[in-house]
Amino acid sequence: MESENTLESRIKTAYARLGKSEQKVADFVLLHGPEVARMSVAALAALCDVSDPTVVRFANHIGFEGFSDFKLEVMKDWGKKTVQESPSPLLVDLYVTPDDRLEDIPAKMINTTIRALTDTLKIMNIPAYRQAVAAIVNANIIDIYGVGNSGSIANDLMNKFLRIGLNARAFQDNHLQQISSLSLVKTDVAIGISHSGSTRDVVDTLKLARESGATTIALTNFKASKITGYADIELLTGDFETTFYSETMVSRISLLAIVDMLYMGVLLSDYETFTARLNKVNKLVESKNY
């Protein structure tokens, strides 16, 4: 399944390569979509606190000849939704307030998670995904870096790869990450996991791994920019929220979905070999149960 080429997905895919002022425009458009169709360049620029030329550059950088063409796409992509769709009865924001009822929380969390996963699927770059799977399959060593919340995701990816016989290792300690990265060569792969894309330990280590010659893969959010500067391959999550709470909850689900995509993609690349190895592991695990 190819990713959807919607206006929202185009903006998210290009986001990290936009200038800071252009990102302000992108943020506004992603939050207020349909409203933009009724605005002039000057009005949008004023609301985003940027110059008129910045708005035009934003439109150019996401693939439009001018602001008018961009507004036509806004009406095409978001106009029908504005007319046809009624507001969802489910709560879609992540924040809990004193006025929330306990019985509302399950719907709030599930609906937010579904939206994050759907947004991630929309911007999934299938060629980059194919490239990542191929690099992992052919790698001698697979180093995986993550700290904090992303550290647990790194461990999950390592465990999955070990189950099918890949030479994977995960590091959460910064010193071990960097020591390991220095010994990598061009036949190896380094995977950096960071929702914000600005976690210093992970970014610096992925940079060292790239300088050592390894193929580097970043699992990060579409708004990230630091880590993608050192990634040969980017796999992006599409969830818009980047607050502390969303990073430790919703973003984890989106990143784990990409982890599972990589695992299943590798397994599919040589189904007979990898499922045979997995069957041995399953038998071992079963033997340890009472």
Between 225 and 256, the higher pLDDT residue: 256
pTM: 0.83
Establish if 92 belongs to a structural domain: no
Picking from 29, 64, 86, the residue at the C-terminal end of a domain is 86
Question: What is the bridge-based pairing of β-strands 142-145 and 189-193?
Answer: parallel
Q: Are residues 81 and 127 in the same domain?
A: no
- Band of residue 76 on the pLDDT scale cut at 50, 70, 90: confident
- 41 in a structural domain: yes
In total, how many domains does the chain have?
2
- At 116-139, the pLDDT tens digits run 898 899 899 999 999 999 999 999
Q: Does 93 fall in a domain?
A: no
Residue 89 has pLDDT above 80, yes or no: no
Selection from 188, 156, 186, 160 nearest residue 172 by Cα: 156
Cα distance between residue 273 and residue 276, in whole Å? 5
More confident residue, 217 or 13: 217
Which residue, 169, 166, 216, 162, is CA-closest to 194? 216
CATH number at residue 33: 1.10.10.10
Same domain for 67 and 175?
Answer: no
What average pLDDT does range 70-81 have in this prediction? 77
Residue 32's pLDDT is 87
> Which residues lie closer than 8 Å to 186 by C-beta, 6 or more apart?
213, 214, 215
Same domain membership, residue 241 and residue 190 = yes
Mean pLDDT of the residues in the chain: 87
**Which of 21-35, 64-78, 231-245, 251-265 is predicted with the least confidence, judged by mean pLDDT?**
231-245
- Asked if 150 and 240 sit in the same domain, the reply is yes
Range of the domain at 256: 122-287
In a domain, 176, yes or no: yes
Q: Is residue 275 part of a domain?
A: yes
Instruction: Pick the last residue of a domain from 36, 63, 86.
Output: 86
- pLDDT tens for residues 212-248? 999 999 999 988 879 999 999 999 998 765 454 545 6
Given 35, 67, 86, the domain boundary residue is 86
